[in-house]
Chain A
Amino acid sequence: MKDPSRIYRWMLLLASLVTIAYLVGAAVQENYLAQWKGIQRQYRNLLEDKATDDRGRELLAKFRIEMKQASIPALGTVDRCVTCHNGIDDPRMTDVSQPHRVHPGHILDKHPVDRFGCTVCHHGQGAAMTFREAKADDVYWDYPLLPPEMTEATCATCHDPETLPPDQAPLLLAGMELYREKSCGSCHKLGGRGGTLGPALDNEGAKTRHQLIMTNLRPPHTAWNWQLAHFRDPGGVVGGSLMRNPTVTQRGALALTVYMLSQWNRDVPESYLAPDKIEQKYRALHPVPLTGEQVYQQYCTACHGNGTYSRWDKKFNRFVPAIRGVSLVATASPKYLRANIEQGRPGTQMPAWGPHAGGLLPQEIAAVIEYLRNGATEAPLTPMAMPTGDATRGLSLFLRNCYGCHGMNGRGGMAPEIGNPVFQQAATDAFIVRTIQNGRVGTAMPAFQRRDAPVFSDQEIADVLAYLRTLAGPKAQRAMAQNMTASAPSGGRP
């Protein structure tokens, strides 16, 4: 009779051989093929080469091939980078190749590895035991190793960048300067101050690659690479982005990237914070008011330019008012300007800038009004003796002369929304009449009552005014509100 268990004995033999092979393979991999062991053997050879004095011989004798780590419970990190970067604090290791080389600069003098570790500055996966996993730009890890030139971003974790010696974090300072120069605050909030068109940037450095749209980005798909590409071409990275191209150099993009990466409210024990960092945090709670010019530069120029002309914005698909234009300054009262700044223009791209919205201090708003008016003395517009207007006639005049730019019901189109509730409340009759009469220099708004060629008679202006005031009525406002909700997400108008 055939042996019924013969096949099983063969199977057993085969399976056992396979099992033993893999067990041996795993042991060999762990014991002899580990990357870090090879690197430490190389390093021991380097130590042997350099053991020319007693100190060198002592270091060689003390050297063991073993896993090394900087465990920093206060920061919640365990960094095993020093398992391969053995020469990090050995000043003799200047002429050797990585990973054996000494840390550049004198950073480690004040930031010893056993107190700070590595990843608090460099990011990357400190627990890893291979370079690929430590670098972590193609493994599952939230904060991959920062490129060397971007590492200064993390200085801001414990330092106020502005008090650092200028050669320590040049890109970080340049980025901070560019942020103000390019008026990023017009659309982005930082520290509670800024516009609302773009996302707030307070924790931008903490964003992982999963929080950023990577579809249009060439690898590596890391947050820092996203920032870098985004500052070169915002619309090319985020389709449909309203953000204007900041038009910066490659170094400028790098500087802005570093500044963004530095925005990370990381929870670090107080004992790690430099005194100036604590002062910086205090200053953020008790800000020193900016001058009017600074406010205008940091929070207005992205949309309004220098404010003396009416700028056509391609992304918004409309004119942005010339808020420092001579005609506006001549007609608009500080009260009117204050209302528009504090409350914004709901439903348009103009956000509110009051203390509870855009975060500007009352003194700063007063200062920027001064700046907009450019020292013009306030000459109160006296209400003129106007004939009584007729809204129906006004509507027909509006449709022929105004509707093209200001839109049906004054909903705005290319030109400002004159049906807007804030405008209707803040603008006096005299202001509106003067504006229609004289137009706005530097904008597309013509004068309708030029002395040499009047378009409107006094009666006609009164009719238009009467019509405009009907726009403040409940029915028109409902239409306006619908328009706002419809246009709010995209911001632009067809």
Chain B
Amino acid sequence: MAETATKEFVHNLHELPHTVKDACFRLGKTPESEREESQATFHNLFLHIHSVRVHLRTLSPTLTFGLGLTAMASFVITIITGVLLMVYYKPSTDLAYQSMKDIHFTVYTGRFIRNIHRWAAQLMVLVVLLHMARVFFTASYKKPREFNWLVGLGLLVITLALSFTGYLLPWDQLAYWAITIGSNIANSPRELTDAIGITKWFDPGGFQKRLLLGANFVGQDSLIRFYVLHVFVLPLALVTLLGVHFWRIRKDGGLAKPEDPMGGLAEWGGERRTVFQPLATKTYGLMALVKGKRPPVNRGPENTVMSWPHLFWAELAVFMLTVAITLTLSFYWDAPLKELANPAIPENPAKAPWYFLGLQELVSYSAFMGGMLIPVIVLIGLALIPFLDRRSGGEGVWFGTPGEKATTWQSLFFALAVTVGMLAFTVNFGWLRNWFPNIHQLWIIAINPGSLLVLIFAAWSLLILKRKDSVRLAAVSLFTCFLVSFTLLTYFATVHRGPNWHFYWWPSQWPLH
């Protein structure tokens, strides 16, 4: 017996490289048949969220431009670089700035890593917004994907919060004053409560601000709060919601797509196959596990290919492309690090992070309108889209609803004209306070360029609803107006607002300080 056991042990030892390899790579070779390709997919935790076969439309670069994946990829990049930065960063007002300087100057490739973190984060915000626009203009929020649209909105808010909380951590002048502005935006309901004189008893603005900062000013309490949110709470929330987001994509039948034309692969150069004929006596569908009809009843075979390797090549390519773009940006453009935060020397102009600059422009007209009511209206409006526009059609096709392209162009020019006109008017002629210096603040809260823009866009959308007799087109017009004015206001506040929030044609004209 003993001898046999020894032999067995030696044999096992000898076989060790093979057995470990087999255990780790269970298939043990490149999949050769479709069956093995299927196994490669669903035997792997990270791949099994994909279906085994993927529709050819999904692989088309111009359907999604890989935007969602890019957002995911940039998130992964920020996680990796963020962990590296955490090793050196010290979340204390006395040490934070010095640790940033050390990361810049002495940590091995520290500045490069910080640049990557910064650029990936900026890219993520941008791409999440573009991804939302893609989903909207391909009508991909429609049944059964309403819930995933809501999850996506949650992800948008978390993404903005993640970026915003990270802004404070360097504890430089840029961080300090951007967060001061940001927290004053949180404080903006006070404009309304002050105007009607109830701040003493009911002060949601002050509460929000103190909740955010942990004090009445930006200090150590705020820094540790932002740090905990940035490195723990928000990433955890994002990962959780991201899991739900991906799982819902799978459960809702992959990317939204129109019904295949009868005859299947013909349009892709494949053979024309016989249409599946359902038997009247049988039921079809996978026990309601997955929404949609499976197997395809009354349809031709779908234009699908195996996910392994096609989809995974595509995903890897998008991921690496994101890495390449981020590295390129990081190699040439440093993340900003200004002087040590100094509450005695306000930055002028003090600007919020770029994605909040549109809001800051509105806040400059009315804090409550721009900082509270309009963002809430926009968020609620976005959330309601899939529940108000319920008629199916056009899913998975850019501007797939009849007349959608025309409506988009019309709304684009309309919003462009209205927003530019409003900004030009305000810059040239001022607003109510300039004309009637003693007017009650409530008038300005109610009537200001921000609230007028919202009203005009709402009216425009109602007009489209009447004229074109389509809820989808009304939604398209409103969404286009939102996108255009968001972009324009952000651009305007970034480039044309200088010290004291005055208008300048170009930052080089700003008076020096």
A127 touches B59 (CB 8 A): no
The answer to whether A18 has its CB under 8 Å from any CB of chain B is yes
A15 touches B106 (CB 8 A): no
A78 touches B98 (CB 8 A): yes
| CA distance in complex: A141, B172 (Å) | 10
The answer to whether A74 has its CB under 8 Å from any CB of chain B is no
The answer to whether A107 has its CB under 8 Å from any CB of chain B is no
A80 touches B314 (CB 8 A): no
The answer to whether B305 has its CB under 8 Å from any CB of chain A is yes
Binary per-residue interface labels of chain A (1-17) against chain B in the complex, 1 for a CB within 8 Å, 0 otherwise? 11011011101101110
B172 touches A4 (CB 8 A): no
B316 touches A12 (CB 8 A): yes
| CA distance in complex: A385, B41 (Å) | 119
| CA distance in complex: A30, B310 (Å) | 38
| CA distance in complex: A30, B327 (Å) | 15
A67 touches B339 (CB 8 A): no
| CA distance in complex: A211, B512 (Å) | 11
A213 touches B320 (CB 8 A): no
Which residues B258-279 have CB closer than 8 A to chain A? 265, 268-270
Among candidates B61, B269, B317, residue contacting A15 with C-beta atoms closer than 8 Å: B317
The answer to whether A96 has its CB under 8 Å from any CB of chain B is no
Binary per-residue interface labels of chain B (316-329) against chain A in the complex, 1 for a CB within 8 Å, 0 otherwise? 11101101100110
Residue of B nearest to A130 (CB): B105
A1 touches B268 (CB 8 A): yes
The answer to whether A168 has its CB under 8 Å from any CB of chain B is no
Residue of B nearest to A211 (CB): B345
- Complex interface: chain B residues within 8 A of A18 (CB): 324, 327-328
| CA distance in complex: A19, B112 (Å) | 13
| CA distance in complex: A213, B311 (Å) | 59
B102 touches A127 (CB 8 A): yes
Which residues A101-157 have CB closer than 8 A to chain B? 125, 127-129, 133, 140-142
Assess A1 versus B269: contact at CB under 8 Å? Given A15-B321, A15-B323, A19-B324: yes
The answer to whether B413 has its CB under 8 Å from any CB of chain A is no
The answer to whether A63 has its CB under 8 Å from any CB of chain B is no
Among candidates A5, A78, A140, residue contacting B337 with C-beta atoms closer than 8 Å: A140
Residue of B nearest to A143 (CB): B339
A140 touches B270 (CB 8 A): no
The answer to whether B108 has its CB under 8 Å from any CB of chain A is yes
The answer to whether B313 has its CB under 8 Å from any CB of chain A is yes
The answer to whether A215 has its CB under 8 Å from any CB of chain B is yes
- Complex interface: chain A residues within 8 A of B106 (CB): 67, 80, 127, 129
Instruction: State the Cβ distance, B475 to closest chain A Cβ, in Å.
Output: 32
A25 touches B331 (CB 8 A): yes
Assess A80 versus B105: contact at CB under 8 Å? Given A2-B269, A15-B317: yes
- Complex interface: chain B residues within 8 A of A23 (CB): 327
Residue of A nearest to B331 (CB): A22
Which residues A391-422 have CB closer than 8 A to chain B? none
B327 touches A1 (CB 8 A): no
B59 touches A11 (CB 8 A): no
- Complex interface: chain A residues within 8 A of B512 (CB): 213-215, 217, 221
Known pairs A15-B320, A22-B331, A127-B105; list 17 more (Cβ under 8 Å): A1-B269, A5-B59, A5-B309, A5-B310, A5-B311, A5-B314, A11-B318, A15-B321, A15-B324, A19-B327, A22-B324, A30-B112, A129-B106, A140-B173, A140-B338, A213-B513, A214-B513
10 interchain residue pairs of minimum CB distance: A15-B320, A5-B310, A214-B512, A12-B317, A18-B324, A8-B317, A11-B317, A5-B313, A22-B327, A15-B324
- Residue pairs across A and B with Cβ atoms less than 8 A apart, 19 shown, are A1-B268, A4-B56, A5-B309, A5-B314, A8-B313, A9-B317, A11-B318, A15-B320, A15-B321, A27-B109, A80-B105, A80-B106, A125-B101, A128-B105, A140-B339, A142-B342, A208-B339, A208-B345, A221-B512
Q: What is the interface of chain B, defined by CB distance below 8 A to chain A?
A: 56, 59, 61, 98, 101-102, 105-106, 108-109, 112, 172-173, 265, 268-270, 305, 309-311, 313-314, 316-318, 320-321, 323-324, 327-328, 330-331, 336-340, 342, 345, 511-513
